[in-house]
Amino acid sequence: MTQDARPFIPVSIAVLTVSDSRTLAEDRSGQTLADRIAEAGHVLAAREIVTDDVDKIRERVRSWSQDPKIDVIITTGGTGFTGRDVTPEALEPIFEKRMDGFSEVFHRISYDKIGTSTVQSRATGGVLNATFIFVLPGSPGACRDAWDGILKPQLDYRHMPCNFVEIMPRLDEHLKRGGGKSA
């Protein structure tokens, strides 16, 4: 089957902004992601803001990861080095599988745009409860770079030679129930 012959399969994506200071109306990074999700033909399943608190971040992501209507969670914010930047600490310990390649590719794309300043981000990714989770910096530019350079193609079933959508049904094989949440 050629790429053109494959159908587009929309996935449901939740966006979580981690911030002590933003409201939804002021959340440019979350809005950047919401706009790109819609433009790509996917479903924005949920969008919220939580404060930079490990328990609150973890609770929201765990809850969304258990929702069969959510395939992907993207967080934005809290990936730097200041005292309140705790998103990786909140989420990496609960990942069932880490996605080291996501961070590596993100930094490669980011380096081409902002040079060595990319080392100030701890963007990461992983899987929890058969749900992909991507942890992005809190700037609109970083969200654009991650979406345009990684997430948009990988969340498109037509992208070849492989993509996340085609493996979604197998993310929970270890549970012996198969037939994941999407595709």
CATH number at residue 22: 3.40.980.10
The pLDDT value recorded for residue 175 is: 60
| 183 part of a folded domain | no
| Phi-psi map region of 77: left, alpha, beta (phi>0 left; psi -120 to 50 alpha) | left
DSSP H stretches of helix in 40-151: 54-65, 87-91, 100-114, 140-146
For the chain, the domain total comes to 1
The pLDDT value recorded for residue 3 is: 54
| 180 part of a folded domain | no
| 182 part of a folded domain | no
What is the rounded distance in angstroms from the CA atom of residue 17 to the CA atom of residue 47? 8
Q: List per-residue pLDDT tens for the chain, 183 residues long.
A: 455 689 999 999 999 999 999 899 999 999 999 999 999 999 999 999 999 999 999 999 999 999 999 999 999 999 999 999 999 999 999 999 999 999 999 999 999 999 999 999 999 999 999 999 999 999 999 999 999 999 999 999 999 999 999 999 998 877 654 444 544
What is the rounded distance in angstroms from the CA atom of residue 26 to the CA atom of residue 44? 18
Q: Which helix (H) or strand (E) holds 128?
A: strand 124-128
| 87 part of a folded domain | yes
| 13 part of a folded domain | yes
The pLDDT value recorded for residue 179 is: 47
Range of the domain at 69: 7-175
| 48 part of a folded domain | yes
